[in-house]
Amino acid sequence: MIRLLVVGTGGMADTHANAFAAIEGVSIVAGVDTNPENLRNFTKNHNIAHGFATIQEALAWGDFDAVCNVTPDAVHHRVAMPCLAAGKHMLCEKPLATSHADASEMAQAAAAAGIVNMVNFTYRNSPALMKAAEIVAADGIGDMRHFEGSYLQSWLTQPAWGDWRTEDQWLWRLSKGHGSHGVLGDVGIHILDFATYAAGANVARVSCRLATFPKAPDDRIGNYRLDANDSAMMHVTLTNGAAGVIHASRFASGHLNDLHLRLFGTKGGLIVTHTHGKDHLQMCAGDDLITGTWVDIETPPVPTIFERFIAAIRGKGDSRPSFAHGADLQRVLDAAVTSDTNQSTDQVV
């Protein structure tokens, strides 16, 4: 039996709990949260025996093998370091940290501890993305030349996910003082991972502009100053020489939670879409290039990151995406922020 500790018992913790409950031989044995009401509801709803107010209390108890770090972004590093020192495997929510320095320290600590360490880049669960990466790796579209990726949400223009004006779970994402790096850190990192994984290359250079739009009188709601970025626009050059654009927004009216990626090579192109929770992959290559015909590609199911995390602990799979990869992407985010702050055209990553 693999025993899991969930740290941070907000909405995303339910996703972790439900996913792991479906895996044989896995049990969530305790939760940790500084918010007593959240902790009480979480442990009750998922029939979890133990609850702790701090990670120190949980580590003193110690009867668990691995940790789900589902805390807010700014708390990831603080929670991870003592757990890694105690030799606990960890699945951490993205972004790995709020700075490359912290993310790098987490990656180094995980490597030194010799434990399984993974970052929950949700869209690695996408069959279309995984198949696209497989095609690119097999030279199916030739040498990469150009790409464009977007992650579009609209929860600032409609209430499908709740009222962001009154609910803390959304308001903290709009406030730097509450640990948010805005849309860049929240979903921008997802589309960066999505694009670079499919393209089979890392980011070499980035230029970025961030935009924060007025959302309330004096840009404040209660204790939340609404100063985190709402849209991010990046020009990116990859280590394989491909150039492209990546953008993300919470003001993309009409798009609830949509990812789009186009990859163009010397032998063909790929279109990956994830909309309304469904994947779609198309390809244009060979003789179809002459007519511009795009063909649907079959995308078989892939294991979820939750399944892969458990398999890695059991020694039956690799632990990607790792903390090292999360730290590499955090370096890109830091460079993007620097580019915007300095209004510079390019930053070497």
Task: State the 10-residue block means of pLDDT for the chain, 349 residues long.
Answer: 95 93 96 95 95 96 97 92 98 93 97 97 92 97 97 96 91 90 92 95 96 97 97 97 97 96 98 94 97 97 95 92 96 94 82
Give 290's contacts (C-beta < 8 A, 6+ positions apart).
none
Residue spans in the chain of domains classed CATH 3.30.360.10: 126-303+319-348
**Contact, 16 vs 6, CB < 8 A?**
yes
- Can you give the pLDDT at residue 303? 93
Distances (CA, A) of 73 to 16, 295, 335: 16, 40, 18
pLDDT at 347: 80
Q: What Å distances lie between residue 248 and 157, 177, 209, 229, 295, CA to CA?
A: 15, 21, 11, 10, 27
265 to each of 4, 196, 241, how far by Cα in Å?
43, 14, 11
Residue 4: what pLDDT?
Answer: 98
Query: Cα–Cα distances in Å, from 72 out to 107, 244, 286?
Result: 18, 30, 47
Q: What is the dihedral of CA 315, 317, 321, 327, to 10 degrees?
A: 30
Instruction: Answer yes or no: are the C-beta atoms of 349 and 330 closer than 8 Å.
Output: no
> d(Cα 150, Cα 274) in Å, to the nearest integer?
11
Write down the pLDDT at residue 179.
81
**Whole-model pTM above 0.95?**
no
Structure tokens at 232: 């991010």
What burial letters (b/e) apply to 243-272, b meaning 16+ CB within 10 Å? ebebbbbbbbeebebbbbbbbbbeebbbbb
In DSSP terms, 93 is beta-bridged to: 120
Give CA–CA dist 28/9, Å, rounded: 12
CATH fold, domain 126-303+319-348, is: Dihydrodipicolinate Reductase; domain 2 (3.30.360)
Residue 5 pairs in a beta bridge with 30, 67
Sign of CA dihedral 13, 318, 202, 138: negative
Phi then psi dihedrals of residue 134, to 5 deg = -65, -40
For the chain, where do the domains classified as CATH 3.40.50.720 start and end? 2-122
Q: Which residues of 100-109 are buried (b: 16+ CB within 10 A; e: fewer)?
A: bebbbbbbeb
Q: What is the pLDDT of residue 94?
A: 92
CATH assignment of 2-122? 3.40.50.720
Q: Which long-range contacts (CB under 8 A, 24 or more apart) does 297-303 make?
A: 297/128, 297/131, 297/135, 298/131, 299/127, 299/128, 299/130, 299/131, 300/127, 300/131, 301/127, 302/125, 302/126, 302/127, 302/130
Question: What's at 344, amino acid-wise?
Answer: S
Question: Residue 294: phi, psi to the nearest 5?
Answer: -105, 130
CA dihedral over 89, 94, 95, 97, signed as positive or negative: negative
Distance CA 192, CA 198 (A): 10
